[in-house]
């Protein structure tokens, strides 16, 4: 069976799913990004979620970039965490 998809194989088949349960969307530097937590106030960017082409060429928004940010536990009306 061949799957033509952009979804990683470990998401489809369930390997390593514990890291994907920790991924959430935030607004960082004016753009939406998906991040997951490393440790206290350190997050790693998983992917950029934007319709702006400029967001994809910003080096500070590239996947794999470690960011330090503080977030409170409040959510906006779309269920995303708000930045402090």
Percentage of the chain beyond pLDDT 90 is 24
pTM of the shown model: 0.60
Examine the pLDDT at 62 and tell me if it is beyond 80.
yes
Q: Which residues, other chains included, contact 55 with Cβ-Cβ below 8 Å and sequence gap of 6+?
A: 31, 48, 61
pLDDT tens profile 6-35: 887 777 776 655 555 578 888 888 899 998
Whether 54 shows a pLDDT value over 70: the answer reads yes
The pLDDT > 70 percentage for the chain reads 71
Q: Where are the alpha helices (DSSP H) in 21-78?
A: none
């Amino acid at each position: 069976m061949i799957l033509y998809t952009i979804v990683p194989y470990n998401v489809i088949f369930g390997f390593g799913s514990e890291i994907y349960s920790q991924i959430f969307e935030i607004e960082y530097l004016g753009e939406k990004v998906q991040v997951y937590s490393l440790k206290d106030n350190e997050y790693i960017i998983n992917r950029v979620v934007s319709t702006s082409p400029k967001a994809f060429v910003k080096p500070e928004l590239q996947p794999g970039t470690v960011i330090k940010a503080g977030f409170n536990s409040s959510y906006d009306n779309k269920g995303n965490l708000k930045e402090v």
